Amino acid sequence: MAILTEHLALARNICLWLATITILTFGVIIEIGDHDRRALCGGHRYAMGVVLNGASPYIELSADGVPGHFLLDYGSTRSSLSASAFAASEGSVRKATISLPSFERGDFDLRRHDLLLQPERRQLGVIGTDFLSLLSVQITGSAMFLGAEPCQPKALSAHGLVPIAQNGFFSSDLSKIDAGLPNVPVVFLRLGEVHAWAQIDTGYDDTVYAHSVDINEALYARLVESGIKLERVGDVSVWTCEGRESRHVYAVKDRALVIENEQARNVVQTQNFHLLLKPANGCGGIAEMAAPAAQLGASFLRLFGTVVFDPRSAQVWLEGRAGKRQAAASNFPGHK
């Protein structure tokens, strides 16, 4: 999860700074009704919300009987609880009951989770892939379903969803994860003639640049070598495990970013995206990888339409119709 602040004109910096302070001090979870949606894989229905102006998904759960909002973060491999909510020291570990389907207790890291929400609406924790890799999760608009059973491929295909095999990347069976890779779901992207895999990071709330794509240095070099023109449009500051870092932001003109499955089938595409160069640091992840790799911000969930994470079958399913509707709308007169 990254917090971004633009280094542009001073006036805009001040506006962004004030907006950030407003969110940090008075941030709320916005819950949006979506009552006509139904479960494609069964499971329990949760009211899903987002932080004001954000895209990362939150649901309300309880841990050891304490209710609060939890971020569902497919970019994190460890679940955590707010240290302050449980009067515990940061860095310690707590075994707690959690109100997730089929779960009784689990181990949580204790971390600071009190920045985004008011105390009465605080973020109580993060659910990472140590738990999410044991659940099927469906996100449709603002409706969310979590269950313990695997999905039925025929039912998902009948609703127009396209499977993306997670071979070596994301599974409920950790022995199937390739060495050196985290247990994180991926899609495959194409830009021009360049192909790479990209992690789906639902905890990366890309509010400054919608459809942010973090790329490592290997992918940046591959894009340059292919002849794609990258136009630097700004810089952003991010907070990492090593502190504050600055990253270059690039736009690509006259090229669509294509999201594919493992067989190079086009699922959805967009021309509204930015590339953020993620230089190597000591925090791990794609920045440390020698092979081209990327990481998608949470705003891609809206582009994907219905998304189903099915780790027991090692599949991620995307609808992709949201992107097709977006492309069709751009052809109407007066569309902006």
The whole-number pLDDT of residue 30 equals 55
* pLDDT tens-place string over residues 97-156: 999 999 989 999 999 875 544 434 678 999 999 999 999 999 998 789 999 999 999 999
Are 83 and 175 part of one and the same domain? no
How far apart, in whole angstroms, are the C-alpha atoms of residue 203 and residue 78?
A: 12
The whole-number pLDDT of residue 10 equals 32
- Reading the block at residue 77, the tokens are 């491999």
The whole-number pLDDT of residue 29 equals 57
Residue 194 burial class via C-beta count within 10 angstroms: exposed 0-12, middle 13-18, buried 19 and up: middle
Domain that holds residue 260: 151-329
Are 107 and 156 part of one and the same domain? no
Count of domains forming the chain: 2
The whole-number pLDDT of residue 321 equals 65
Instruction: Work out the mean pLDDT of the chain and round it to a whole number.
Output: 84
Are 161 and 307 part of one and the same domain? yes
The whole-number pLDDT of residue 9 equals 33
How far apart, in whole angstroms, are the C-alpha atoms of residue 122 and residue 90?
A: 17
* pLDDT tens-place string over residues 150-164: 999 999 999 999 999
Task: Extract the residue ranges of the chain whose pLDDT is less than 50.
Answer: 1-27, 32-36, 116-120, 323, 325-336
Query: 138 in a domain, yes or no?
Result: no
Are 302 and 191 part of one and the same domain? yes
Are 116 and 188 part of one and the same domain? no
Are 178 and 320 part of one and the same domain? yes
The whole-number pLDDT of residue 126 equals 96
Torsions phi, psi for 234 (to 5 deg): 165, -175
Query: β-strand 186-191 against 194-200: which pairing, if any?
Result: antiparallel
How far apart, in whole angstroms, are the C-alpha atoms of residue 99 and residue 61?
A: 6
Are 166 and 305 part of one and the same domain? yes
- Reading the block at residue 216, the tokens are 């490592």
Dihedral class, residue 131 (left if φ above 0, else alpha if ψ from -120 to 50, else beta) = alpha
Are 117 and 155 part of one and the same domain? no
Distances in Å between the Cα of 265 and the Cα atoms of 187, 226, 270, 299, 314 are 11, 21, 15, 22, 18
CATH code of the domain in which 86 resides: 2.40.70
What pairs with residue 45 in β-bridges? 145
Dihedral class, residue 192 (left if φ above 0, else alpha if ψ from -120 to 50, else beta) = left
Are 230 and 287 part of one and the same domain? yes
Are 206 and 276 part of one and the same domain? yes
CA angle 288, 292, 297 (to 5 degrees): 80
Which H helix or E strand runs over 248? strand 243-251
Are 315 and 167 part of one and the same domain? yes
Domain boundary among 102, 132, 162: 132
Are 320 and 243 part of one and the same domain? yes
CATH code of the domain in which 264 resides: 2.40.70.10
* pLDDT tens-place string over residues 66-106: 999 999 999 999 999 999 999 999 999 999 999 999 998 99
Going by the DSSP 8-state scheme, the letter that residue 23 receives in this structure is: H
The whole-number pLDDT of residue 121 equals 61
How far apart, in whole angstroms, are the C-alpha atoms of residue 317 and residue 301?
A: 12
